[in-house]
Structure 1
Amino acid sequence: MVLSASIVSAEPSSNVAYDVPTLKFLMNADPARGEALAKKEKCSKCHGDNGVSDDGEDNNIAGLMPSYAFKQLIDFRDKKRDDRDMYKKVKEMDDQQLADLAVWFGMQEAGNGTEGKQMSEDVRKLVVNGDPERLLKACAACHGSRGNGGQFDHPRINNQYKEYLVTAMTAFKEDDRENDVYSRMRYVSKALTEEEIEALADYYALPDPE
């Protein structure tokens, strides 16, 4: 079999491997240093004092699993995830500083967008069952039935605002974001309709900030 040039030259979507050394490195990170660094770098300007933003366009990072947050920070620094502002913030930071930040924000209390919410039947099917005809896994298989997240690179999604969730899934759908391992979210988002993305975001989202 002859592989196309694009496949042969394809680069990994991230330089982070969830191997034992990485996980041990994160376990030994220092949240106190992370808190001090967050204050020094004024992370609160976009993400709020404790990782919950006052703007629906900015992502909330409170309560994110440190392994996921660490990967995103490394991806910003390595330009595997495109964001000019985040690149400027982290381009001079080393792995230890990024790990400390990830652990600090992971310890902060997150909101719960699904608390008290009822699923529509269409949303229930996607969250609980997925759609075998489209080869869609259930959202709950990775993110949990209430969006609390899973292991390693399966983030909490019930601590986000609807606007951010729609923007994130649309970026995956349109290949504007490509740092998902094995293209999993790109595949899912491309298979979902715009209406389904809106409905899922509405179910998982926090109330809009006042």
Structure 2
Amino acid sequence: MGILMMKRLLLTILFIAPIVVNAGPSSQAAWTSKTLKFVKNGNLDKGRELAGSCTSCHGDKGQGMKEETMDDETLPAIPALAGQVATYTYKQLRDYFNGDRSHESMTSIAKGLSEQDAADLAVWYASLPLPVNKSPGQKFARAEKMVEQGDGKRILPPCFVCHGAKGQGEKQDIPALAGQQADYFTRTLLAYKNGQRHNDIYSRMRLIAGQLSDAEIRELAQYYQQLK
């Protein structure tokens, strides 16, 4: 399948998604040239300073944390932020602020951040190197096929069309996936799949995740975690 065909397939999904998934506005983010410039010009030094209060959860290098079980209680994985596309991080913080995305801790934290704070944090984390989470010897044939070829029978475009050949993400609202904590990745796609999370513009990830099996989601998570 050629690149042009892939992009047409993706456009088809974008057009039918709002019809297939009936939901309210997914986000109040508006990617105007002014907003893009605002995020790009975020203050790295201020972002580094603000990130000091984020290290207990997201790690001293923005590497996130794996899911852990302590005293019979499961502590959910915390996402890696290092190397993340700045506009994506900014959007998530503003979505928490606006109520388009909900999380017991992050919502209250984001409510205390100004738009400038969100931009500063976003560019700081984007400046950090991607986490390294290699999986020596592991094979991910099914995930690699989905990333490189997609599945035309299910109208699923290859993951690389949006997220890049190396999982680096793209500008605006398409996140980097390389190095992301696998447990967090899995939980995120399952949340899109069951409709628990709905701040994806045009319902893109809800439509895609809804057609993936749980096993496919877990393998994709492991595949992207070990990319760098």
Tell me if TM exceeds 0.5.
Answer: yes
Q: Where does residue 25 of structure 2 map in the other structure? A: 12
* Whole-Å separation in 1 of the counterparts to 2:163 and 2:136: 18
Does the 8 Å contact 2:96/2:103 carry over to 1? yes
- The alpha-carbon deviation at position 63 of structure 1 amounts to 0.7
- Structure 2: how far apart are the matches of 1:76 and 1:151? 20
Cα 1:112–1:17 shift into 2, 3 Å: farther
Q: Distance in 1 between matches of 2:56 and 2:131?
A: 19
Residues 14, 150 of structure 1: alpha-carbon distance in 2 compared, 3 angstrom cutoff: same
Local SS of the residue matching 1:152: coil
Map 1:34-183 → 2, pairs under 5 A: 34-39=47-52, 42-56=53-67, 57-113=77-133, 120-183=140-203
The amino acid that maps onto 1:45 is S
Corresponding residue of 1:24: 37
In the alignment, the residues of structure 1 paired with residue 83 and residue 169 of structure 2 have an alpha-carbon distance, to the nearest angstrom, of: 10
Q: What's the Cα RMSD here?
A: 2.2
Shift of the alpha carbon at 1:18? 1.5
User: Which sections of structure 1, spanning at least 5 residues, go unmatched?
Assistant: 1-8
Specify whether residues 17 and 119 from structure 1 end up closer, same or farther in structure 2 by C-alpha distance, changes over 3 A only.
farther
SS at 2:210 equivalent: helix
Higher relative contact order (CA 8 A, sep 6+): 2
* Structure 2 unaligned blocks of 5 or more: 1-21, 68-76
1:53 and 1:27 map into 2 onto residues whose CA distance is 23
Tell me which amino acid in the other structure corresponds to 2:34.
P
Normalising by the residue count of structure 2, what TM-score does the alignment of the two structures yield? 0.80
Alpha carbons of structure 1 residues 130 and 114: separation in structure 2 relative to 1, 3 Å: farther
In 1, Cα distance between equivalents of 2:113 and 2:224 = 32
- Partners of 1:51 and 1:62 within 8 A in 2: yes
Rounded to whole Å, the distance in 1 between the matches of 2:44 and 2:188 is 27
- Following TM superposition, the consecutive aligned residue runs of length 4 or more in structure 1 with deviations greater than 3 angstroms are 112-121
CA distance in 2: counterparts of 1:114 and 1:21, whole angstroms = 38
Give aligned pairs, total: 198
Q: Percent identity?
A: 36
Name the SS for the 1:165 alignment partner.
helix
In structure 1, give the amino acid aligned to 2:129: E
Alpha-carbon distance between aligned partners in 2 of 1:170 and 1:200, rounded to the nearest angstrom: 12
Q: Which residue of 1 aligns with 2:6?
A: none
Are the aligned partners of 1:161 and 1:206 in contact in 2 as well (CA < 8 Å)? no
